A and B are shown apart, each in its own frame.
Chain A
Amino acid sequence: MSKNTVSARFRRVDVDEYDENKFVDEEDGGENQLGPDEAEVDSFIRQYPLYYKHSELDRAEGLVLKVLSAFKSSDIEKAVQSLDKNGVDLLMKYIYKGFERPSENSSAVLLQWHEKALTAGGVGSIVRVLTARKTV
């Protein structure tokens, strides 16, 4: 046979696509549990806004950044220590989310928060930011 007279297009088929056991990652919508009143800075951080529709994410992130910037540098450590383990993990998520879109002063403020949160949560809290399947 000098020439392949049959089409070789079958070689480009991705067989895994047709596997009925294929794992499909599920996106979770979930309800919106946005925290209230940004004047209540401490309690806001303690809220658990875990599930967000994508449209709400930016608003939540902006609010959190405002709240974190409102703190005096000397108060940051106390605020972090008032959080429980899950609160520290959640705070870390927001810190890294804030790093993604740096603005004027945000990085400086976030770095201060990051230092205190790292002392409280250890590198484990950063690992949980990376492995979290529900992002903030």
Chain B
Amino acid sequence: AHSVVGVRVDWPESASRAPSAFFTLCLPSLQLYSSPSFPLEIALCPNNHEVHIYKKDGTKWTKIHELKEHNGQVTGIDWAPDSNRIVTCGADRNAYVWTLKEGSWKPTLVILRINRAARCVKWSPKENKFAVGSSSRLISICYFEQENDWWVCKHIKKPIRSTILSLDWHPNNVLLAAGSCDFKCRVFSAYIKEVEEKPGPTPWGSKMPFGEVLFESGGTGGAAPSSSGGGGWVHSVCFSHSGNRLAWTSHDSTVSVAEGGKTGTVSSLSSETLPLLCVTFITENSLVAAGHDCYPMLYVYDGANASLTFGGKLDVPKQAASKDISARERFKNLDRRASETQSTDKDLNTLHKNSISQMSVLEGGRNQCTKFCTTGMDGGMGIWDVKSLESAMKNLKIV
């Protein structure tokens, strides 16, 4: 029923797994592959200490590698497409950089110097650094020190007051956005002089020493009075393709966009849905976000008016033809559910049957995304085609 709007992939093992399986999905960029459609390999964590790599053969996914090194739940995975390295981080307070040697993935330990679990990890655009957010209320910026032949890290601590939930790098390889449980979204400088040149000025600022805060949400910015005092954990942050815009979702069911250079005005939208857990730009003006309502939705940002509006729900399954129900069935349903029909509002008619926790752009990048995928707590992965969505949904315009 969802072939037009989204395609659902169920992992070969998910049938045997408990329904609460949670996949951390990470996809290599499609630049590696000549095929214009789906990615060929996927790294995911089936809610335990391991990372599994699946390869696509035609329409089937088969597991080709198991990466076992972590002593605790793997909480973050990121795959660097150009250098073909995978970085993982876990509740065991460690991170590992994996390289493919002679057909198998070999780990290298990275000491993060944290005393709580690591929560998320992201390679920088040039893949010479990666950032790890943790419950230790700091971000570890890790880079490779050639002379000692190992990974070292520097900490960004101030003014973070709680767990870092999400990270995203600016295209200039220096600025890093971080969403935290202290209700703030911030942009830091993660400039490492050992591995890169001094960065040029950006709309977010021109002075970028390591650890500098170039933007903090909920400060002088903030749309409505009620949003400046409240706020929730910042679940997801995302820079636009140009890096000039930053979007984030918060646990108080809001989605916000800030623009570099105009950080006095932050556009926030209090949504009518449950909190959103992930967000990504699909064009410079359009965002797709998803969360506990189990369907992706579109938001449109108008830079001229600094306003954010809801663009539509992106998951409308075809209506199932209503069958004739026998009188006996009607009474049975009435008895059991106080309603005459079999399905109630409680049955989810969305592609995902549980919260969507992660979203990734598959094709087209963040400025002209043509395909994106979502993974959820139902253990499934949905692949969404933007053009099909536009034609399937009336009044949907992706600008």
Contact = CB atoms under 8 A, between A and B. Distances in A.
Contact of A86 (B137, B162, B226, B252): B226
B273 interface: yes
B155 to A, nearest CB: 11
A50 B229 contact: yes
A128 B252 contact: yes
A50 B222 CA distance: 15
A124 B157 contact: no
A131 B232 contact: yes
Interface in A40-63: 48, 50-51
B230 interface: yes
Given A86-B226, A123-B272, A123-B273, A21 B157 contact: yes
A112 to B, nearest CB: 20
A134 interface: yes
B184 to A, nearest CB: 12
Interface string B256-281: 00000000000000111111000000
Given A124-B253, A128-B252, A133-B230, A86 B271 contact: no
Interface residues of B, number: 23
B103 interface: no
A127 B274 contact: yes
A28 B229 CA distance: 10
B224 interface: yes
A60 B227 CA distance: 21
B277 to A, nearest CB: 13
A127 B230 contact: no
Contacts of B137: 21, 23
A127 B253 CA distance: 7
Interface of A: 21, 23, 28, 48, 50-51, 85-86, 89-90, 121-125, 127-128, 131-134
